[in-house]
Amino acid sequence: MLTLVAFLVAIALLVAVHEWGHFAMARACGVKVLKFSIGFGPRVVGWTSSRSGTEYRIGLLPLGGFVKMLDEREEPVPASELGFAFNRKPLKSRAAIVAAGPIANLCLALLLYSCVNWMGVTEPDALVSKPTVASIAEKAGFSGGERILQVGLDEEAVQDVVSFEDFRWWLTRGALEGKSLHIRYQSTDGTAHETTLSFQGLDVSHADASMFRSIGFVAPQSPARIAEVVPDGAAQAAGLQPGDVVLQVNGLHIADATQLRELISNSGVNQVPEPQHWLIERHNQQVPLVVTPRQLHEAGQTLGRVGAMIGGPPAMVQVRYGFLAGIQKAAGKTWEVSSLTLRMMGQIVTGTASVRNLSGPITIADYAGRSAAMGLEQFMVFLALISISLGVLNLLPLPVLDGGHLMYYGWEGITGHAVSEAWLSGLQRLGFAMLMVMMSIAIFNDISRLFA
């Protein structure tokens, strides 16, 4: 139920803001608005303003909305109202009205990020886990437990890192932009170090957990503690109990939960797992146990599993900014997410990134529910991300989208002539077909993730 409510709230808010941008700019430019609709299809509820004559409505299908303006191309317009018709307005006014929707979404993201910065959010501390084997981070000398202090891309000045999520964002930028990441960090003995992570040759076609495994940093450092034991699993058979902290496996020191999970998982890759000698700490006493992981088939792979939830809560920090600093940080984040979103879309078009990175309504609903369950701040961050995606997507020069109309106006501005009705009709059909293909791929990806 929470997932459904969060999804509907998210869609309603993002669509309302987008359409309000068109609506407000149209009114400012002297265009008469006939309908303002949240949702498509038959009207569920609504009213008509006696002053402006605008019908405000909520449609049956919530995935979208529209603003219908007075326009001679759609229906006859009385001579007395020709001055209020959209098609009679100057080019700059028409372009401003079209661009206002996506810009409103970007402004919403800026506001949401600012509010989160002012309110403060609790995030994992910038302590990294033991890097995955043969990863970029391991080759750079990380061993786990280091505190990330500052980072920067290529020749940019390094900036302070306030949390692991902040650091993860820098990793994402560096990987997708193909730039080296300069890092200043503190080792477990308090010594300061500097290093550079080079992402040259990194496979970024799938910007998911596999990319971060190749980099080496999958999650923040958390203790290798048994959180929960599954009945009839290998962990219960070996005598493991909730609260046990794993110190060693086959004589190897265990730095954190990430390292332990990797060891267990890799024990069942293409082989039957062998018994492992674990040394655990229980009630301040060290206890030796023999644990034999079981081989399971998951998502087309064979992996080792012990039937236990592994990992304690990581160290947390409160991240909060003042009024001006919060706005400045939000503006930078909005710009960075926008440019990164645009770059990812470009990589999908050119084939350097997989179309599997596209997500549809099922995935959006899932993340809406998850973020809402984590609290208001995380839900606001989720809304900001989706609002940016909606704004950037609508600015693409694709017919039927706002960016497509801006493309038409660009042609009109250069040539002095509007796009012909024949060309406009053909391009609209092409754009609609392309949009349907994108939506079909996104929904297919959603369903594939459900059954993965």
* Cα–Cα distance for residue pair 345/342, rounded to 1 Å: 5
Check 19, 123, 146, 377 and give the catalytic one: 19
Longest distance between any two alpha carbons in the chain, whole Å: 91
Q: Strand, coil or helix: what is 242? A: coil
**For residue 371, what pLDDT is reported?**
85
**For residue 148, what pLDDT is reported?**
96
* Cα–Cα distance for residue pair 128/258, rounded to 1 Å: 10
**For residue 286, what pLDDT is reported?**
95
Q: Which two tokens stand for residue 142?
A: 């990380």
Q: Where are any strands of DSSP class E within 154-244? A: 159-160, 181-186, 192-197, 226-229
Q: State the DSSP string of 297-353.
A: EETTEEEEE-SEEE-PPPPEEEE---HHHHHHHHHHHHHHHHHHHHHHHHHHHHTSS
Give the list of residues 6+ apart from residue 273 with CB closer than 8 angstroms, or none. Answer: 267, 292, 293, 294, 295, 304
Residue 18: CA count within 13 A, CB half-sphere: 28
**For residue 200, what pLDDT is reported?**
84
**For residue 449, what pLDDT is reported?**
66
- Closest to 250 measured CA to CA, from 227, 222, 269, 273: 273
Residue 123 β-bridge partners: 317
**For residue 56, what pLDDT is reported?**
94
Crossing angle for the helix pair 323-350 and 376-394, nearest 10 degrees? 50
Residue ranges and CATH numbers for the domains of the chain are 91-120+325-452 (no CATH), 122-221 (2.30.42.10), 226-299 (2.30.42.10)
Strand order through the sheet with 181-186: 159-160, 147-153, 181-186, 192-197
CA 51 to chain centre: 42
CA angle 343, 346, 351 (to 5 degrees): 125
Going residue by residue through the chain, which has 452 residues, state the pLDDT in tens, using 9 for 90 and above. 778 888 888 988 999 999 999 999 999 999 999 999 998 888 989 999 988 889 999 998 877 889 999 999 888 989 888 999 999 999 999 999 999 999 999 999 999 999 999 999 889 999 999 898 889 999 999 988 899 999 998 767 889 999 999 999 999 888 888 889 999 999 988 999 999 999 888 877 766 677 888 999 988 999 999 999 999 999 999 999 999 999 999 999 998 998 999 899 989 888 888 999 999 999 999 999 999 999 888 766 788 999 999 988 888 999 999 999 999 999 999 998 998 888 888 877 777 777 777 777 777 778 788 888 888 898 999 999 999 999 999 998 888 889 999 999 999 999 988 888 888 888 888 888 888 888 888 788 777 766 55
- The span from the first CA to the last CA of the chain, in angstroms, equals 23
Q: Residues 151-158: contacts with CB within 8 Å, 24+ apart?
A: 151/181, 151/182, 151/183, 151/184, 152/181, 152/182, 153/177, 153/179, 153/180, 153/181, 153/182, 154/179, 154/180, 154/182, 158/182, 158/184
**For residue 63, what pLDDT is reported?**
78
- Closest to 382 measured CA to CA, from 10, 1, 9, 117: 10
Residue 136 β-bridge partners: none
Tracing tokens 């080296």 back to the chain, one arrives at: 180
Clarify whether 81 is annotated catalytic.
Answer: no
**For residue 299, what pLDDT is reported?**
64
